[in-house]
A and B are shown apart, each in its own frame.
Chain A
Amino acid sequence: MSTVQTKRPWVGVLAWLVALVIFFPIFWMLMTGFKTEADAVATPSLFFTPTLESYVEVQGRADYPKHALNSIVVSFGSTLFALLLAIPAAYSMAFLPTKRTKGTLLWMLSTKMLPPVGVLMPIYLLSRDLGLLDTRTGLIIIYTMMNLPIVVWMLYTFFKDLPRDILEAGRMDGASTFQEVTLLLMPLSLPGIASTGLLSIILSWNEAFWSLNLTASNAAPLTAYIASFSSPEGLFWAKLSAASTMAIAPILIFGWMTQKQMVRGLTFGAVK
């Protein structure tokens, strides 16, 4: 796989240097979370007495667990609905293509191009009138629709790579469409479905336009909760760092796990 035969040690040094510089802010946040508030604003130093004070305090304040739960419910809920809607659609597009399939796929992609801010007012007013402002249900609906095109596309590219004969054989044996999907397609493409689900969770977890604009103290997920630390009422860097670390750690790990498959979803199959 390597394109370099000659050993050039400076390449490794340079690459590591770049990687560390890019990662530094995350590393620094990690460190700051284990400092006292006084140490956090003192002259930057790697040498300090680590403490779990900030973690305990952030966890102890009733609001952190509540907002973390909001993030979990909203991102898993929306991902579940998106998968339920997308699996049958992607199945039919991959295995029962018609003349319209390509057009439908491209149209789905184009709905993703609608900038959220362009429909801020209607979505805000609709949510208000339907009583969905500052509710998890409201965010789940929005995130489901927001990620549906990406989920359909990504599943479609995974399904297309499956051997058709197996499903064909299942159909010959008299399997219904439902059986074909649940007993053959889903087990066979489980890794693909899993990484699609993970991408959808990551995108919902990190979404910050709708969460900032449509939620307040009740349904705010972590993106919006963390934003409340920006208020100028003093510097709480250690607590900010502890809360941020807990907020990004699971997603960072999901991201590391699925980085390769994710490229398909993020580029609508244009880069594999």
Chain B
Amino acid sequence: MRTRASGRTVGGLRSLSLQAPAVTLLLLWMLVPLGMTLWFSFQHYNLLMPGDPSFVGLENYRYLFTDPSLWRAMGNTLVMVGWILVISVGGGTLLAVLFQQEFRGRGIARVLAISPFFVMPTVSALIWKNMMMHPSNGVLAWLMESLGLPAIDWFSWIPMTSVVIIVSWQWLPFALLILLTAIQSLDDDQVEAARMDGAGPVAIFRFITLPHLKRAISVVIMIEMIFLLTIFAEIYVTTSGGPGLATTNLAFLIYIQALLDFDVGMASAGGVVAIILANIVAIFLVRAVARNLEE
């Protein structure tokens, strides 16, 4: 009895000391910047203006929430996240089913289809901006012209759609990669039995495949949401948030306040808003993973 109890304490101490470096550093990495952001958000603090920062209470927040560009940016964030999720998760699910079928060269086709996920965001944004979507020399312009249609000036006419296309191109392969893995564990006998009972492919998808993928799909949605809430590089190299504010999302608005206007107070207040939004999503993701940990 005593040995067991002491053994546990020794084990506890040992595991504590083994985890201590990672946990301590992560704790610092989280708390210090978080605390600073929170503190700055109550300060009047601009790097371009002389004078020390001063405490202004909720002034920054009041200013932020009455600024139409915040609401525009929030709206843009929602539209972007919403559409990219629909395209990448919807498309990813259908393609996972397609690429699960047996056909010649399946391995290679799968690898090609998931490749965009491994391309760095600045490269994919620039390939699309220049070689694909350039209004006169791009492949898409050439394609439209060969079909006898007028070429589209993507980033001026439909900037939001263009950004959504680029980011979806990167994240659909992510959804496909995860869902292809999840679909492997689908019970073949069950599918076969359903087929014997006369179920068509649509019914099999609806009543067997989709329920089987439910958890994987929800995990994909939540992970994508966390990344998509703060899309940055793709906007930075293509539209710079424009024209006007047409493609400015929350992350880009904060960037403008922070590193173009050097308004520390406002950028921090915006940062706090972004953190709160991300955390609302995060709670659900942590719950889903925790449930998985129990099993």
A residues with CB within 8 A of B = 1-5, 8, 11-12, 14-16, 18-20, 22-23, 25-26, 28-29, 32, 40-44, 85-86, 88-89, 91-93, 96-98, 101-102, 104-106, 108-126, 145, 148-149, 152, 177, 202, 205-206, 208-209, 212-213, 222-224, 226-227, 229-230, 235, 237, 240-241, 244, 247-248, 251-252, 254-256, 259-260, 262-263, 266-272
Contact = CB atoms under 8 A, between A and B. Distances in A.
Interface in B255-289: 255, 258-259, 264, 267-268, 271-272, 274-275, 277-279, 281-282, 285-286, 288-289
Interface of B: 11-12, 14-15, 18-19, 21-23, 25-26, 29-30, 32-34, 36-37, 40, 95, 98-106, 109-132, 137, 139, 142, 169, 172-174, 177-178, 181-182, 184, 186, 188, 191-192, 215-216, 219-220, 223, 226, 229-230, 232-233, 236-238, 250-251, 254-255, 258-259, 264, 267-268, 271-272, 274-275, 277-279, 281-282, 285-286, 288-290, 292-293
A98 B193 CA distance: 44
A49 B258 CA distance: 47
25 contacts: A4-B102, A12-B105, A28-B127, A32-B131, A85-B22, A85-B25, A88-B18, A88-B22, A91-B18, A113-B282, A115-B230, A115-B275, A116-B230, A118-B272, A120-B259, A120-B267, A121-B40, A122-B40, A126-B33, A240-B130, A255-B115, A255-B117, A266-B174, A266-B177, A268-B289
Nearest to B233: A208
A115 B19 contact: no
Most buried by B among A101, A121, A148, A229: A121
Nearest to A102: B293
A2 B102 contact: yes
- Give the 4 A-B CB pairs with smallest separation, nearest first: A12-B103, A113-B282, A208-B233, A255-B118
A102 B290 contact: yes
Given A98-B12, A255-B117, A271-B182, A240 B126 contact: yes
B281 A117 contact: no
B219 A29 contact: no
Contacts of A18: 95, 98, 113
Given A23-B115, A92-B15, A244 B255 contact: no
Interface of A is mostly: helix
B101 A15 contact: yes
A22 B120 contact: no
B129 A230 contact: yes
Contacts of A25: 116, 124, 127-128, 131-132, 169
Contacts of A93: 15, 19
Contact of B132 (A28, A121, A149, A226): A28
Given A121-B268, A224-B122, A226-B122, A237 B177 contact: no
A28 B19 CA distance: 47
B32 A259 contact: no
